[in-house]
Amino acid sequence: MLTARCFDSKGNAGPPVSHTYIQLASNARKFSSNLPVVVIENLRGGGIPADPHRDAYMAIYEPGEDGRTKLTNEPALDTRIGIKIRGSSSLNRAKKAFAVEARDGYGEDKDIAPLGLPEDSDWILYAPYNFDRALIRNALVYELSNHVGRYAVRSRFCEVFVNTYGGSLNYSDYVGVYVFMEKISRNKDRVNVTRISADDNT
């Protein structure tokens, strides 16, 4: 990751600007999918912890004109993030779920709109595993709920790579099919309720 700041003629600093480049091994250059692909680059940080969020980078690739997603194409979205393992009883599963916070150059929350979903900073990479071997149970019920007019988290299927120890991204960093979905939160595009205060006691 390269980070720089620009200065005006009076020496005033502008916001930091970052660019991250992912080096692809030959097997990753050949990879393609009919699903979007999410790449998490942990900046040689080692294993992702359960707490707190660790600094990382996320790139999301979407299918091109041929209907295939390739890592050699430009990402549709890329951003700094904070990431941690999500869950309690699922912490020791081989396939980890992740909580993701999009961040700006100052490390503050930043709203993004990945995969056509409404803007927000908080997202979940849900890992269907032993209780959902079909990989679709939660996503199907959420989608049905939204179709009948009852809010449920919106979701998109994707394939995920997580590079935790640096070096070229390769197929050994592939962790499977995930569900990229909204985190439940109070928001006009999520759970649209008014914040209550200590005075709301009737």
pTM of the predicted structure, to 2 decimals: 0.86
Rounded to the nearest 10°, the torsion over CA 157, 96, 181, 79 is -100
- 142 contacts 117 by C-beta, under 8 angstroms: no
- Which of 53, 22, 49 has the alpha carbon at shortest distance from 38? 22
Residues 113-146: pLDDT tens digits? 999 999 999 999 999 988 888 889 999 999 999 9
Query: How many Å apart are CA 78 and CA 58, to the nearest integer?
Result: 6
Query: How many Å apart are CA 100 and CA 162, to the nearest integer?
Result: 13
Stated length of the chain: 202
| Pair of tokens at residue 155 | 């979701």
Residues 41-93: pLDDT tens digits? 988 888 899 999 999 999 999 999 999 999 999 999 999 999 999 988 777 88
